[in-house]
Amino acid sequence: MIGNVWIHPGLIMILGAMGLPFVKRGPVRSLYLVLVPLLAFFDVSVLMEHGTFGQTTFMDWQLTFGRVDRLSMVFGYIMTLMAVIGTIYGMHEEENGQHIAAWLYVAGSLGTIFAGDYIVVFLFWELMAFASVFLVWFRRRAGSLACGYRYLLVHTFGGLLLLAGIILHYKETGSLAFVMLNVHDPSAADYLIMLGFILNAAVPPLHAWLPDAYAEATVGGAVFMCAFTTKTAIYALARACAGMEILVPLGVIMALYGVVYAVLENDARRLLAYHIISQVGYMVAGCGLGTKMAINGAVAHAFAHILYKGLLFMGTGSVLYMTGKSKFTELGGLYRKMPLAFVFTMIGGLSISAFPLFSGFVSKSMVIAAGFEEHVYWAGFLLTMASAGTFLHTGLKVPYYIWFGKNNCSEETWEKAADPPMNMRIGMGIAAFLCIFIGCYTPYLYRMLPYPEVAAEFHPYSAYHLSETMQILMFTALGFFLLLDKLTPEPTISIDMDWFYRFGGRGFFWLARKPIQTADNEISEAYNYMGLRPLMIISRFWSWFDWHGIDGVVDGIARFFVRLGSLMRHVQAGRVQVGMFYAAGVVALILIAYVVQ
């Protein structure tokens, strides 16, 4: 708040992204990279007051860009803090496009968090999807290009579900206010809005885009992606769907499903991506329970998760950046070559495993405790069981097979291995400090939660909780080392839900190119050689159908992908910034509109 003018933190990120190409290389650019997200963080943490700001009229609708309360404040705080950490970690990256895409991505998340109506939600929801896909494409591998296409198509589908729900909701209620839906007797509109949100939360079976894209993203891009999309979805669920009962079983399924696939993974970043699904499952279940304790738990766990999962992606990203490898079967014994990266990654592993004195210990237990308080015992027990799997693969498997275990590094990999550049170490150091600080000093986090009076009554460091947690962790560790031979990673591929739509897409193109196109050719040839009038009529009809019917749709889809391919060539040439500037400029003008009224 400057005077009577509220400055949207997303606007700071957008304007910063638009100005970056005009900043010269060198110390000034480094200062600029740190200053922009710091200003957004300062805006959220110091300058804001609770209330409604940034209201403007569009057609007959009242748009609200700044609905500020305890729920939006805690998410805005951690999102801007992670933007600072992620930017510092990626400062070595010389390509402006990566920073621009990351900042626009953050702006989309912040815009959603502070939105007071569904039009603004949808605007920034789509900005998140279309900005983040470039963090995958900028890696410039064939696999990254394909993953980016799938990521964009899946999120476009999710956006359409959300838009359909918004339209039906407006027709039913006459309101576009982003408030709680009718969770006890939901309509079709409510379910469509919820589906749009849970797709971004990566709820199975709408989840395969996450490990698919995050493992193929750039080193710095994956750090941003692991923090923003799924947690923004958790905010949306806490805001609009708290208490929707279907979310409880969906969250528990997520927690268990992610653990199973993480244990099977050979690629470190895919393992961490699958574990995002597992950890977000706790948050989804918390939103489904809907009590004050459960919402506090979901929010607290989202806060902690952004930090420790970002730290884990930074640690494994450092290994990838220095060695070019991320598969366990190509690594091992690196603690001697990368000691600082090992320590920081281990802190992230202990945090996500809910070890005492680390951040996960004081957040994850809130959701489980809320389940038992509401007598949803099956959910509480299954979420407790999933926490054992978390320690198994992220607290033990990741550090063992990267930093210890058998050395599978090639001579070239071993020679290149070393601690990453200073900026990457600083980013990891900040995140590691906060993981320990939150675990040791709970009031720092608990005072920011939506219901601080309830959080004040929760005491994670009770004798019962400590003994229960240590028993789970120690027996899990014992099982890991007893079954070490069975858990040794292998270079295999795990088939996931994406198999269905990927092969379904291939089947569609086969249908279009084989039977339909073959029939088209046969009829045309019969007409040309035989000249029969009935065939002439059929041919003319087929020609019309060829252009206006199914084949025309196929041709249109093909032209769409050709144009996307052309866009990718521009990405590789570094010219896509113009298009990104245009999109950012549209959003920036809308945000500025209320300031100049």
Give residue-wise pLDDT tens across range 440-495. Answer: 999 999 999 999 999 888 999 989 889 988 998 898 888 888 888 777 877 777 77
List, for residues 290-323, the tens digit of each pLDDT value: 999 999 999 999 999 999 999 999 999 999 999 9
Q: Tell me the C-alpha distance between 316 and 289, whole Å.
A: 34
Which tokens go with 234? 């958790």
The mean pLDDT of 150-173, rounded to a whole number, is: 93
List, for residues 552-589, the tens digit of each pLDDT value: 555 555 455 445 445 444 444 444 444 444 444 544 55
DSSP letter at 512 equals I
* Percent of the chain with pLDDT strictly greater than 70: 86
Q: Of the residues 199, 216, 233, which one is the last residue of a structural domain?
A: 216
The stretches of 265-376 forming alpha helices (DSSP H) are: 268-289, 292-323, 339-352, 359-373
> 292 with 434, same domain?
yes
Question: CB neighbours (10 Å) of residue 38?
Answer: 17
> 304 with 453, same domain?
yes
Looking at the structure of the chain, the number of domains it has is: 3
231 within a domain of the structure (yes/no): no
> 483 with 443, same domain?
yes
The mean pLDDT of 33-54, rounded to a whole number, is: 87
348 within a domain of the structure (yes/no): yes
> 483 with 514, same domain?
no
Q: Of the residues 489, 510, 537, which one is the last residue of a structural domain?
A: 489
pLDDT of 165 reads 95
Task: Identify the band that residue 340 occupies on the pLDDT scale cut at 50, 70 and 90.
Answer: very high
Mean pLDDT of the chain: 85
> 477 with 522, same domain?
no
> 437 with 521, same domain?
no
Query: Among 166-170, 263-267, 380-384, where is mean pLDDT lowest?
Result: 263-267
Q: Tell me the C-alpha distance between 424 and 432, whole Å.
A: 12
Encode 31-95 in three state secondary structure.
HHHHHHHHHHHHHHHHHCCCEEEEEEEECCEEEEEEEECHHHHHHHHHHHHHHHHHHHHCCCCCC
DSSP 417-483: -----HHHHHHHHHHHHHHHHHHH-THHHHTTSS-HHHHTT--TT-HHHHHHHHHHHHHHHHHHHHT
pLDDT of 37 reads 96
pLDDT of 552 reads 55
* Percent of the chain with pLDDT strictly greater than 90: 57
131 within a domain of the structure (yes/no): yes
> 305 with 409, same domain?
yes
> 188 with 264, same domain?
no
pLDDT of 250 reads 95
Q: Of the residues 435, 455, 489, which one is the last residue of a structural domain?
A: 489
222 within a domain of the structure (yes/no): no
Residue with tokens 């209320």: 594
146 within a domain of the structure (yes/no): yes
pLDDT at 362 over 60: yes
Q: At what angle do helices 268-289 and 359-373 cross, to 10 degrees?
A: 40
Which tokens go with 400? 């063992």
Query: Among 25-39, 152-166, 399-413, where is mean pLDDT lowest?
Result: 399-413
> 434 with 355, same domain?
yes
pLDDT at 593 over 70: no
Confidence (pTM): 0.85
> 415 with 433, same domain?
yes
pLDDT at 71 over 60: yes
566 within a domain of the structure (yes/no): yes
pLDDT of 6 reads 76
Which residues, listed in sequence order, are joined to residue 63 by a DSSP beta bridge? 56
Q: Tell me the C-alpha distance between 260 and 276, whole Å.
A: 12
Q: Which residues of 574-585 are buried (b: 16+ CB within 10 A; e: fewer)?
A: eebbeebbeebe
- Cβ-based neighbours of 128, under 8 Å, separated by 6 or more: 105, 108, 109, 112, 200, 228, 229, 232
pLDDT of 319 reads 94
pLDDT of 399 reads 87
Task: Identify the band that residue 540 occupies on the pLDDT scale cut at 50, 70 and 90.
Answer: low
> 408 with 530, same domain?
no
Residue pair 70/450 in contact by the 8 Å Cβ criterion: yes
pLDDT at 192 over 70: yes
pLDDT at 369 over 80: yes
Look up the domain containing 286 and give its range. 242-489
230 within a domain of the structure (yes/no): no
Question: CB neighbours (10 Å) of residue 507?
Answer: 10
Q: Tell me the C-alpha distance between 212 and 225, whole Å.
A: 12
Residue pair 102/135 in contact by the 8 Å Cβ criterion: yes
Q: Which residues of 340-365 are buried (b: 16+ CB within 10 A; e: fewer)?
A: bbbebbbbbbbbbbbbbebbbbbbbb
Q: Bigger pLDDT: 527 or 241?
A: 241
pLDDT at 496 over 50: yes
> 502 with 483, same domain?
no
Which of 47, 52, 48, 79 lies closest to 63, judged by CA?
52
Query: Among 256-270, 282-296, 500-514, 573-587, where is mean pLDDT lowest?
Result: 573-587
Task: Identify the band that residue 519 occupies on the pLDDT scale cut at 50, 70 and 90.
Answer: confident
223 within a domain of the structure (yes/no): no
The stretches of 496-532 forming alpha helices (DSSP H) are: 498-511, 517-530
